[in-house]
């Protein structure tokens, strides 16, 4: 499958950046800030700093049989704000996205899922960072024990999927992976791309009655 949208194939490409060897200005276990000498597409000499991540992100949208979903509430340091989000976290590049998502879901909510579907791949602020993320839908859930990280104080809630959509529309849920995954999952449910029972539960529709002879 092509990495480009259908309208891009065969079209002439704009000029690209010329990137020279970079110098690491800051590094810790999670990120590096690398400064490059570069030439812009217009031919201008410039400096370009890139925030490079040492892990990639995963998120899981866990859908219960009644159409509710589990969310995680926590305080986020950069914005100094409380945030409701999908279970999500960072995964080493040596680990598969699916295995990382399964681990994050189990650790943050205690849930395991019998069925998983990859729904979305994302780039975050791709003008300044190389961070990427993979998002999943998870269903047929079983409850177990949580395993919070030593720095995490997480609160859990179950709400109807459509209530999450309403709060996203109202601007009260803003985490990028949560917003993007929920909207993609809604699209998939509406377009018949998910199992019928799962889609109906997510959309708040009654199950179809079985036909009798």
User: What is the pLDDT, as a whole number, of residue 2?
Assistant: 66
Q: Would you state the structure tokens that stand for residue 208, as one six-digit string?
A: 């179809």
User: What is the pLDDT, as a whole number, of residue 1?
Assistant: 57
Q: CA 131, CA 124: separation in Å to the nearest integer?
A: 6
Q: Which residues of the chain fall below pLDDT 70?
A: 1-2, 206-213
Q: What is the mean pLDDT of the chain?
A: 93
User: What is the pLDDT, as a whole number, of residue 204?
Assistant: 92
- For the chain, the first-to-last Cα distance in angstroms comes to 45
User: What is the pLDDT, as a whole number, of residue 14?
Assistant: 86
CA dihedral (98, 99, 105, 111) in degrees, to 10, reads 100
Q: CA 128, CA 120: separation in Å to the nearest integer?
A: 21
Instruction: Report DSSP letters for the chain, one per residue.
Output: --SS-GGGTTSPPPP--EEEEEEEEEE-SSEEEEEEEEE-TTS-EEEEEEEEESEEEEEEEEE-TTSEEEEEEEEETTTTEEEEE-SEEEEETTS-HHHHHHHHHHHHH-EEEEEEEEEEEEESSTTTB--EEEEEEEEEEEE------TT---EEEEEEHHHHHHHHHTTS---HHHHHHHHHHHHHHHTT-S-HHHHHHHHTPPPPPPP--
Q: Does domain 57-118+133-203 have CATH number 1.10.3720.10?
A: no
Quote the pTM value. 0.91
Q: CA 61, CA 93: separation in Å to the nearest integer?
A: 21
User: What is the pLDDT, as a whole number, of residue 151?
Assistant: 85
Question: For the chain, what are the domain ranges?
Answer: 19-53, 57-118+133-203
């Amino acid at each position: 499958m092509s990495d480009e949208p259908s309208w891009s194939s065969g079209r002439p490409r704009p000029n690209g950046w010329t990137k020279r060897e970079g110098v690491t200005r800051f590094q810790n276990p999670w990120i590096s800030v690398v400064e490059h000498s570069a030439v812009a597409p217009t031919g201008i000499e410039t400096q370009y700093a890139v925030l490079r991540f040492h892990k990639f992100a995963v998120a899981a949208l866990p859908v219960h049989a009644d159409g509710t979903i589990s969310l995680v509430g926590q305080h986020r340091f950069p914005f100094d704000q409380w945030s409701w989000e999908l279970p999500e976290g960072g995964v080493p590049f040596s680990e598969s996205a699916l295995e990382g998502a399964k681990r994050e879901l189990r650790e943050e909510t205690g849930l395991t899922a019998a069925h998983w579907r990859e729904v979305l791949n994302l780039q975050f602020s791709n003008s300044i960072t190389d961070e990427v993320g993979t998002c999943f839908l998870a269903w047929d859930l079983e409850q177990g024990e949580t395993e919070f990280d030593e720095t995490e104080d997480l609160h859990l809630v179950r709400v109807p999927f459509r209530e999450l959509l309403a709060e996203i529309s109202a601007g009260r849920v803003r985490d990028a992976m949560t917003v993007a995954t929920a909207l993609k999952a809604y699209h998939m449910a509406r377009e018949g791309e998910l199992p019928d029972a799962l889609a109906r539960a997510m959309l708040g529709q009654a199950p179809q009655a079985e036909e009798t002879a």
